Every structure is written in structure tokens, then in C-alpha cells.
Structure 1
Amino acid sequence: MTTVRLPLFPLNTVLFPGLVLPLNVFEERYRAMMRELLKTSEDEPRRFAVVAIRDGHEVAPTAPGMPDPTALPQRGPTAGFGTDPVKAFHKVGCIADAATIREGTDGSFEVLATGTTRVKLLSVEASGPFLTAELEPLEEEPGDEAAPLAKGVLRSFRQYQKRLAGARERSLATGADLPDEPGVVSYLVAAAMMLDTPAKQRLLQAPDTASRLRDELKLLRSETAIIRSLPSLPASELTRGPMSLN
């Protein structure tokens, strides 16, 4: 089993391969992480792992990287995550590759990263200024009937978009704007749907692409039916939620 050890950035959101993750980094433990990543040559990937925080464990803020006054009395890499931080995190996460890391005059950082590879969280180390984790990369198998499932998911996703945006909205993605590779479709739709963190986490850790697409098809049909039953709710209310498209 090949494993890798990387800095660990727990968040109240799920990162999917191929999706962009903007971060505003204020907490000192994550500032230290970014300073360490900046030591890596620009020619090499500046990688860290993102894992979603389990419900009931988060003391961190809801906005990625933003400071949380309630956590200030507790310092160090494990602040807010208990004596055994691995229990506070979901077991499947995603490696992020930081394309840009910019330090502000106040010592904070603006980071733009992209999800690359799913990983399984094996252990967490808290001996340094920030958490690190031993991770096992997870291969993505296509599964059975991934291609036709992807087409069905795209059809349902367009209906879902239309219901969210309203019939007169002209900014909907067209067929030319959406990918057709099943794995890419599965991650894009998982990130774009208005789902809570546990639901997104289940999609991230699906055993293969086809399984993820099947689950998305069910979710899209269910969510679209719910939206259809609430015609008087403004689109701005429907689209207001904790998840952005990143």
C-alpha cells in the first residue's frame, strides 16, 4: 500500500477532484501551513489534503479559512478537534494543489487550490504547528454503465438548474458548457448540487463512478420534485445555502 503524508486542512465543506477551492486563511495553524508550502519550489506541486469535519465536531468557522472568535482560547494544531482529531474528520478526503498562495500585509493568505485525487485518511499527526496526515490515494473505477448514466445525470442536472434559476434565466450552462466524461460529470454535479455536507461526503466516497452517478440521479429527481412543489419561493431563496460552486 503506497501512502503519502501531507498537511491537513479540515473544512466544513467537501472538496471534489477537479473543483476549485478558494481559501482565506487567517488562523495561525493554517498560516504556518501556507508558509511551509511556500518553501516548495513553484515547479513542484504545493499539495495539502482537505477533509470534511464531521457534524457535531466543528468548532472551526463555516466559511473556509475565516477566523472563529469562539476558538481563540484554544491554541495549537488540534484546537476545536478534541484529543483524537482523526475522529472529528470524515475518512475520505481530497488532495488539493495550491496554484496560488498570496500573503497579505496582515499575515493572512489568499489561496486558490484545485482538487486532484481522492484519499483515505489513515492517521493524523499533531506534533508540529499544523496537522499532517498519512493518506492512501484512492483509485476511481468507472463501474458498470457509467457513460449512459452520465448522460442521464446531465439531463436531470439541466432540469434541476432550470428549476433553480427560473424559466427566464439565460445564464444556464448549455450542452457545450458541460463535460461528458463520466468521472468529471459525477464530481461536477456532486459539487454543484445544493446538498448538506454528509450527502456530499457520501458522493465523494462512492465506490465507483457509476455508483456516484446512480445516487446523483436519484438526488436530482428528488430535489427537482421538491423545487417544483414550491413555485412561489424566489430563486434567490432556493439558491441560498452553505455550499458554493467553488
Structure 2
Amino acid sequence: MSQPQEEFSDGLTSLPLFPLNLVLFPGMDLPLHIFEERYKDMIGECLNQDSPFGVVLIKEGLEIGDPAEPERIGTSTRILRSEVLDQGRLNIMTKGERRFEIEEITQRVPHVVGRVRYLVEIEGQGCSELVPQINDEYVELVRNLTALTGGYTSRVEIPEDPVELSYAIAANLNLEPHLRQSLLVTETAATRLADLIPMLRQGNEAMRKRIEEQNPFQGPRLN
């Protein structure tokens, strides 16, 4: 059973933070290999308490060594399963849950802890017009990703909720971290979907070319 996080009268929550060179979206799976002592301790506490931690893109600094300066907005993530290795190292699988904004860094050693405010997800105006435009491109994206690994899928599950759809698309696109961060900080699903449409089309075009290069003789069948 999950233990309650430390909450303050101003609505903020204390959350251990993991600065990384990547952006995590709500609903996105994230495998991690934990080998630094500070993060072994942090993840151990999260496992013992069944509590989340926050993943934030590094603004300045490095993943290893001195504490890095994180971006202000990140995503809380919960550990789904873990595997203990030699020397106390861990392999964990996590799933992104909720966006948050860091209001204050309260600890930097041995690992970063912040007081955060969880953000409310807003659909915004125009989702009903944007979703039909993007659904077909999303289906093609999933099929292209599957084809690149030598697979095939006949049925693609499309999230009905516009917020979930926007994050699912953003998670599957191969974008630079700063672009992914800009999508994460976007306030409404409608704006995020509108921003994603040209990125999605460009991504599908690039993947189609890669698939053709992998299968130069692929073409229409005659029988």
C-alpha cells in the first residue's frame, strides 16, 4: 500500500528528484539502471515506502558526480518492478504519472529533493478538431515503430483522452530533449497536439524512408 508523501499546508509536496538527460512523459515507461550510491539509497527508500520520485531534465551539469541543476518541470514516476544485482545495483522499470513544478530545492546532498506542486491537466479548446487530424498519423507512427523492429501490428490502441493521446505521441517521437521538454511544459493538450502534428508527420516521413532502406525490394504485391 502506498505511503502518503510529505505534504505542506501550501499544497506543495516533498519529492526526491532524479536529474537525467531525458524527458519523461506521464504514462511513459522508463527503465533505469541504478548504480550510484546516492540513487541506490533513494530508490531503496521509494521501494520500501512504495512512493514515487521525480524525473527532471538536466538544465546544467552531468548525470554522474556533483548534483545537477534540473529544469523546473518534470514528471513523477512510480516503480513497477525491480531487480537487485551485485554490489547493490538495481534494474528498475518505472512509469510516469503526474507533471509537477519545482517550487524550491530543499536538499542537494546526497540526492536532490524538492518541494513540488503537481500540475492540473487541461484539455484546452480545439481538441475535438485536432484529435481526428492526428489519430491516423499516430496509428502510422506505432506501425512504423513496430516495422523498424521487424514486427507488424494490425490493431493500434488509440487513447481516447486527448491529454493521454498527446503524451503517448510525444513519448514515441524521436525528439531532442529540449523539444520534449517544451512539449512537457505546454499547459494544454490542445496546444500540445497542435505542436505535435508537424513533428508527427515529419517523424513518420523519416521512418518510412528508414523502412524502405531496410527493405529495398518491398513494394506492392502482385498476387
TM-score, length of structure 2 as denominator length: 0.80
1:154-194 Cα shifts (integer Å, max 9, x gaps): 21123345556669x6524624x232221111111100011
**C-alpha distance in structure 2 between counterparts of 1:138 and 1:225, whole Å:** 34
SS in 1 for 2:121: coil
Matches within 5 A, 1:44-193: 45-54=50-59, 57-60=60-63, 71=64, 74=65, 79=66, 81=68, 88-126=69-107, 128-161=109-142, 171-172=152-153, 174-175=155-156, 177-193=157-173
**C-alpha distance in structure 2 between counterparts of 1:97 and 1:166, whole Å:** 30
The answer to whether the 8 Å contact 1:147/1:181 transfers is no
| Cα offset, 1:80, TM superposition | 5.2
Per the alignment, residue 31 of structure 1 pairs with 40
**C-alpha distance in structure 2 between counterparts of 1:113 and 1:80, whole Å:** 22
RMSD between aligned alpha carbons? 2.5
1:217-246 Cα shifts (integer Å, max 9, x gaps): 1211233345567786438xxxxxxxxxxx
> For residues 222 and 99 of structure 1, do their structure 2 counterparts lie closer, same or farther at Cα, with a shift above 3 Å needed?
closer
Per the alignment, residue 19 of structure 1 pairs with 28
| Cα offset, 1:206, TM superposition | 0.8
| Cα offset, 1:215, TM superposition | 0.7
The one-letter code sitting in structure 2 at the alignment partner of 1:174 is R
**C-alpha distance in structure 2 between counterparts of 1:173 and 1:12, whole Å:** 34
1:94-127 Cα shifts (integer Å, max 9, x gaps): 0111223443232111222211110011222335
The one-letter code sitting in structure 2 at the alignment partner of 1:192 is N
**C-alpha distance in structure 2 between counterparts of 1:165 and 1:19, whole Å:** 17
Structure showing greater relative contact order (alpha-carbon pairs closer than 8 Å, 6 or more residues apart): 1
| Identical positions, percent | 26
SS in 1 for 2:87: coil
Q: Please tell me whether residue 6 in structure 1 is matched to residue 6 in structure 2.
A: no
1:49-93 Cα shifts (integer Å, max 9, x gaps): 110113xx3422xxxxxxxxxx5xx5xxxx152xxxxxx322110
- Structure 2 regions of 5+ residues with no counterpart? 1-9, 216-223
**C-alpha distance in structure 1 between counterparts of 2:147 and 2:82, whole Å:** 37
**C-alpha distance in structure 2 between counterparts of 1:47 and 1:96, whole Å:** 5
> For residues 217 and 103 of structure 1, do their structure 2 counterparts lie closer, same or farther at Cα, with a shift above 3 Å needed?
same
| Cα offset, 1:11, TM superposition | 1.2
The one-letter code sitting in structure 2 at the alignment partner of 1:46 is S
> For residues 123 and 224 of structure 1, do their structure 2 counterparts lie closer, same or farther at Cα, with a shift above 3 Å needed?
same
Per the alignment, residue 84 of structure 1 pairs with none
- Structure 1 regions of 5+ residues with no counterpart? 61-70, 82-87, 236-246
**C-alpha distance in structure 2 between counterparts of 1:49 and 1:146, whole Å:** 28
> For residues 97 and 161 of structure 1, do their structure 2 counterparts lie closer, same or farther at Cα, with a shift above 3 Å needed?
closer
| Cα offset, 1:39, TM superposition | 3.2
**C-alpha distance in structure 2 between counterparts of 1:47 and 1:34, whole Å:** 9
Q: Please tell me whether residue 211 in structure 1 is matched to residue 191 in structure 2.
A: yes
The answer to whether the 8 Å contact 1:8/1:51 transfers is yes
Pick the structure with more strand per residue.
Answer: 2
The one-letter code sitting in structure 2 at the alignment partner of 1:32 is D
| Cα offset, 1:30, TM superposition | 0.4
**C-alpha distance in structure 2 between counterparts of 1:215 and 1:2, whole Å:** 31
The one-letter code sitting in structure 1 at the alignment partner of 2:199 is L
